[in-house]
């Protein structure tokens, strides 16, 4: 029998947009919410949105959002009976899931053992292989003869990788037989120098792979469903920045086989809650990458197509309920991650105070964000400011809505990637869905705002500011932050934000 | 006045020549043009350039001028003529922390001559490593921080002076 445990009060062990996102779903289910916050986040929107809030330590993540003991103690103090970890921070740490369960609380996510098994790279690959999930073809042997046989079977190019490796060191792309021996030697030498271990192995090289992942959802009653796929190929340094569903151009048969593979893997481990099985896709072939045992940042694109609430599903599953019935997916959805980075300057991290904010709206537009006027964006946590998601009957409608929505976005005070994202989404390669994980290197290698993007308008406005004719109030610097000292750690009432906002209302 | 785009070091000369009602006559790098500049608040305006309308926000913040035009954000610094003269075209005589963070690696030592674009220092902030580069050829005068040190936004980390050799492009690496 499945144990049912009604969740009455939920502690959200996270911050930023995802904490706010989880609070919203909990409220719709009638669950009371407890926010936790570091001293740097005292004024953050998730703190004001929750029914209760508790400070868990100084700004450093290691002393606050990663401090499992303090978080579990906060749950006890506030009488919460469940903890949702969000993504990042403690969300994929089996020892945290275990500690939560041992404290008699419900962990909203898969059991610690499932998380541990899938979190270990090698163990995860073994489970996937045994479940019949395709792996990138490879040869364990490093003898030139064996590798030649492998290459004859799979075709060049092939990739030499260090067994102990990571970070690209010891990696060599080999295009044909004649290059092989020299590359093997060099790769082994480099691996030896970098890792003290010269062992190498060989994989088929995927020249222009796509990153496609499958959303799965399992309950304690043995139900496991796959909620379509997401294409997350547009990445920068392995960080996804644009995600969409469905994956454009994926054939129905390939899609069906991917969903089946993800379900087989989920069934093999008795997967519970929301999870994502990631694949590399090369034409109509796909290969296992890894499993993320948590809610993904990009989960809203799935929600818009299926008309579901994945956080609510997680909460239902955690309290012993069955997953909801979901219909067939409709339309297309795209998500853009707006980050606090200066896209024109090598994506340098940006910080500052939100002086003015304009957020998009309209049909099929959703903005998941903790941004508001007065928010101080610092350097303690990741750079995600918000996720803009658009939905349309077709990919092209969703894409056009995204171009328009990004055009409505304006954030003064923190340099961000919105303009860069609009250029990408408006571009011809994106419109024709020429997607691969090399998309940005291929089409946007050194991005700068184009002349048409308002540089003249900005220059004139800057000169007006510099001459005191604009951007100031009664001759004083206009920015409230200019007068503010170091970030205050005292918790302020939400009404303080309103008075700060007043300053920015046009007269 | 001369403004510099923060980060890439690109400089341009912009002057407001005259303002007639909502029309602003400006000169940017020697080219005159007129824009319609309708203020809709202390910090907000609709700026029309060549028939295109932009919703613009602007503010002065410490030594920086922040402007958005649509979704595009821009950060400018005013270049003081005197200082730029003495620094002989050096975009920034000091390498300051663009945000609070930890000094991970220092890539140069005092006395080094570096080319434009050479990495000077690696800063860790927001869980990301950011390499800060020389904007112009320069000589490293002083290194004021140590690896592992936490720095505040704006902290001077490295002092630079113009590169010594009259021509740095034709000689080999510094001896």
Complete domains list, chain B, with CATH: 2-79 (no CATH), 90-162 (2.40.50.100)
The tokens describing B139, both together, are 């000589």
Residues A436 and A460 in one domain: no
State the alpha helices, DSSP H only, in A110-225.
Answer: 112-119, 121-130, 144-154, 177-195
Contacting residues for A383 by C-beta, under 8 A, at least 6 apart: A339, A340, A341, A349, A350, B126, B128
Q: What is the pLDDT of residue B164?
A: 62
Binary contact (A454, B8; C-beta < 8 A): no
For chain A, the residue count is 507
Question: How many structural domains is chain A composed of?
Answer: 4
Residue A421 has pLDDT above 90, yes or no: yes
Give the pLDDT confidence of B79-89 residue by residue, as tens digits.
876 544 333 44
Q: What is the pLDDT of residue A141?
A: 75
Instruction: Give the pairing of strands A410-412 and A341-342.
Output: unpaired
**Residues of the domain holding A187:** 138-204
Sign of CA dihedral A334, A340, A341, A343: positive
ipTM above 0.90?
Answer: no
- Quick check: is A3 in a domain? no
- Quick check: is A128 in a domain? no
Residues A214 and A176 in one domain: no
Which chain B residues are Cβ-neighbours of A346 within 8 angstroms?
Answer: 130-131, 133
Residues A77 and A99 in one domain: yes
Binary contact (B62, A482; C-beta < 8 A): yes
- Cα separation values, B101 from A344, A380, B98, B138, B148, Å: 21, 8, 9, 24, 10
- Quick check: is A125 in a domain? no
Residues A365 and A486 in one domain: no
Query: Cα A9 to the chain's mean position, in Å?
Result: 26
Which chain B residues are Cβ-neighbours of A465 within 8 angstroms?
Answer: 58-60, 65, 67
Residue B129 has pLDDT above 90, yes or no: no
Question: Among the listed ranges A389-393, A402-406, B138-142, which one has the minimum average pLDDT value?
Answer: B138-142
Question: Rounded to whole angstroms, how far apart are CA atoms A473 and B109?
Answer: 45
Residues A332 and A271 in one domain: yes
Write down the number of H helices and E strands in chain A.
18, 25
Asked if residues B116 and B56 have their Cβ atoms less than 8 Å apart, the reply is no
| Residue keyed to tokens 């969903």 | A259
Task: Report DSSP state, residue A295.
Answer: -
Question: Rounded to whole angstroms, how far apart are CA atoms A463 and A326?
Answer: 55
CATH code where residue A240 lies = 3.30.470.20
Binary contact (B55, A479; C-beta < 8 A): no
Question: Rounded to whole angstroms, how far apart are CA atoms B31 and B14?
Answer: 9
Question: Among the listed ranges A105-114, A358-367, B120-129, which one has the minimum average pLDDT value?
Answer: B120-129
Give the pLDDT confidence of A453-503 residue by residue, as tens digits.
788 899 999 999 988 888 875 334 444 433 333 333 333 333 333 332 322
Give the pLDDT confidence of A233-283 residue by residue, as tens digits.
999 988 999 999 999 999 999 999 999 999 999 999 999 999 999 999 999
Residue A296 has pLDDT above 90, yes or no: yes
- Quick check: is A127 in a domain? no
Which chain B residues are Cβ-neighbours of A345 within 8 angstroms?
Answer: 6-8
Closest by CA position to A108, among listed A129, A85, A127: A85
Q: What is the pTM of this model?
A: 0.81
**Of A358, A462, A481, Cβ closest to residue B65:** A462
Q: What is the pLDDT of residue A160?
A: 87
- Cα separation values, A55 from A23, A39, A40, A214, Å: 17, 7, 10, 36
The tokens describing A287, both together, are 């290969």
Testing the interface with B: which of A360, A379, A383 to mutate, by most B Cβ within 10 A?
Answer: A379
Average pLDDT rounded to a whole number, residues B53-68: 92
Q: Does B21 touch chain A (CB under 8 A)?
A: no
Residue A344 has pLDDT above 70, yes or no: yes
The tokens describing A114, both together, are 């499932």
CATH code where residue A164 lies = 3.30.1490.20
Q: How distant is the Cα of B59 from the closest Cα of chain A, in angstroms? A: 4
Residues A438 and A474 in one domain: no
pLDDT band at A168 (very low <50, low <70, confident <90, very high): low
Binary contact (A419, B70; C-beta < 8 A): yes
Q: Supply angle C-alpha B21, B25, B30, rounded to 5.
A: 175
CATH code where residue A96 lies = 3.40.50.20
At A317, phi and psi to the nearest 5? -65, -40
Q: Supply angle C-alpha A256, A258, A262, rounded to 5.
A: 120
Residue A397 has pLDDT above 90, yes or no: yes
Three-class DSSP labels, chain B: CEEEECCCCCEEEEEEEEEECCEEEEEECCEEEEEEEEECCCCEEEEEECCEEEEEEEEEECCEEEEEECCEEEEEEEECHHHHHHCCCCCCCEEECCCCEEEEEECCCCCCEECCCCEEEEEEECCEEEEEECCCCEEEEEECCCCCCEECCCCEEEEEEECCCCCCCCCCCCC
Average pLDDT rounded to a whole number, residues B21-39: 92
Contacting residues for A319 by C-beta, under 8 A, at least 6 apart: A4, A5, A6, A7, A82, A106
Residues A309 and A447 in one domain: yes
- Quick check: is A117 in a domain? no
Tell me, yes or no, if A294 is annotated catalytic. yes
Q: Does B9 touch chain A (CB under 8 A)?
A: no
Q: Does B128 touch chain A (CB under 8 A)?
A: yes
Q: What is the pLDDT of residue A442?
A: 96
- Domain end marker among A432, A451, A470: A451
Question: Rounded to whole angstroms, how far apart are CA atoms A158 and A174?
Answer: 5
Binary contact (A506, B44; C-beta < 8 A): yes
Asked if residues B147 and B133 have their Cβ atoms less than 8 Å apart, the reply is no
Binary contact (A412, B68; C-beta < 8 A): yes
């Amino acid at each position: 029998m499945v144990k049912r445990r009604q969740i009455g009060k939920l502690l959200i062990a996270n911050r930023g947009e995802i904490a706010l996102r989880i609070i919203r779903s909990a409220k719709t289910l009638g669950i009371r919410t407890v926010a936790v916050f570091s001293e740097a986040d005292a004024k953050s929107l998730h703190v004001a949105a929750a029914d209760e809030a508790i400070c868990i330590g100084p700004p450093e993540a290691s002393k606050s959002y990663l401090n499992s003991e303090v978080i579990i103690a906060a749950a006890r103090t506030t009488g919460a009976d469940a903890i949702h970890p969000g993504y990042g921070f403690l969300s994929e740490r089996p020892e945290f899931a275990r500690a939560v369960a041992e404290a008699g609380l419900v962990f909203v996510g898969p059991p610690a053992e499932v998380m541990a098994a899938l979190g270990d790279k090698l163990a995860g690959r073994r489970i996937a292989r045994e479940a019949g999930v395709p792996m990138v073809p490879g040869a364990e042997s490093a003898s030139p003869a064996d590798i030649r046989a492998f290459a004859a079977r799979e075709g060049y190019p092939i990739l030499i990788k260090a067994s102990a490796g990571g970070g690209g060191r010891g990696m060599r792309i080999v295009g044909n037989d004649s290059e092989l021996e020299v590359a093997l030697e060099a790769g082994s030498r480099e691996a030896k120098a970098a890792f003290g271990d010269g062992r190498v192995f060989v994989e088929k090289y995927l020249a222009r792979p796509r990153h496609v992942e499958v959303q799965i959802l399992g309950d304690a009653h043995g139900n496991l469903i796959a909620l379509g796929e997401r294409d997350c190929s547009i990445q920068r340094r392995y960080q996804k920045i644009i995600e969409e569903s469905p994956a454009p151009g994926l054939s129905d048969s390939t899609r069906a086989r991917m969903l089946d593979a993800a379900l087989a893997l989920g069934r093999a481990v008795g997967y519970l809650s929301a999870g994502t099985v990631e694949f590399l896709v090369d034409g109509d072939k796909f290969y296992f990458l890894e499993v993320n045992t948590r809610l993904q940042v990009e989960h809203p694109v799935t929600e818009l197509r299926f008309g579901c609430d994945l956080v609510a599903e997680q909460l239902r599953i955690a309290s012993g309920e069955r997953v909801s019935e979901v219909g067939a997916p409709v339309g297309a959805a795209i998500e853009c991650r707006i980050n606090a980075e200066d896209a024109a300057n090598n994506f340098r991290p940006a910080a500052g105070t939100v002086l003015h904010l304009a957020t998009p709206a309209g049909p099929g537009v959703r903005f998941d964000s903790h941004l508001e006027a007065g928010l101080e964006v610092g350097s303690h946590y990741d750079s995600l400011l918000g996720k803009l998601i658009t939905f349309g009957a077709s990919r092209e409608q969703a894409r056009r809505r995204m171009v328009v929505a990004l055009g409505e976005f304006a954030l003064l005070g923190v340099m961000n990637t919105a303009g860069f994202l609009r250029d990408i989404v408006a571009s011809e390669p994106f419109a024709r869905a020429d997607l691969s994980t090399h998309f940005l290197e291929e089409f946007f290698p050194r991005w700068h705002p184009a002349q048409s993007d308002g540089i003249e308008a900005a220059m004139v406005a800057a000169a007006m500011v510099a001459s005191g004719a604009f951007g100031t109030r009664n001759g004083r610097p206009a920015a409230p932050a200019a007068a503010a000292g170091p970030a205050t750690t005292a918790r302020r009432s939400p009404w303080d934000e309103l008075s700060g906002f007043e300053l920015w209302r046009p007269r | 006045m001369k403004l510099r785009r923060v980060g890439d070091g690109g400089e341009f000369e912009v002057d407001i020549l005259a303002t007639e009602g909502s029309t602003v006559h400006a000169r940017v790098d020697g080219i005159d043009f007129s824009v319609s500049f309708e203020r809709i608040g202390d910090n907000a305006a609709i700026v029309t350039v060549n028939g295109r309308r932009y919703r613009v926000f602007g503010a002065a913040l410490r030594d920086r001028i922040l402007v958005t035009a649509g979704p595009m954000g821009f950060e400018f610094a005013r270049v003081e003529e005197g200082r730029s003269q003495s620094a002989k075209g050096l975009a920034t005589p000091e390498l300051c922390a663009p945000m609070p963070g930890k000094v991970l690696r220092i890539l140069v030592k005092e006395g080094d001559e570096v080319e434009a674009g050479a990495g000077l220092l690696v800063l860790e902030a927001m869980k990301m490593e950011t390499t800060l580069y020389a904007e112009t050829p320069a000589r490293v005068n002083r290194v004021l921080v140590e690896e592992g040190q936490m720095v505040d936004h704006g902290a001077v980390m490295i002092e630079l002076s113009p590169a010594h050799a009259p021509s740095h492009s034709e000689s080999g690496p510094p001896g």
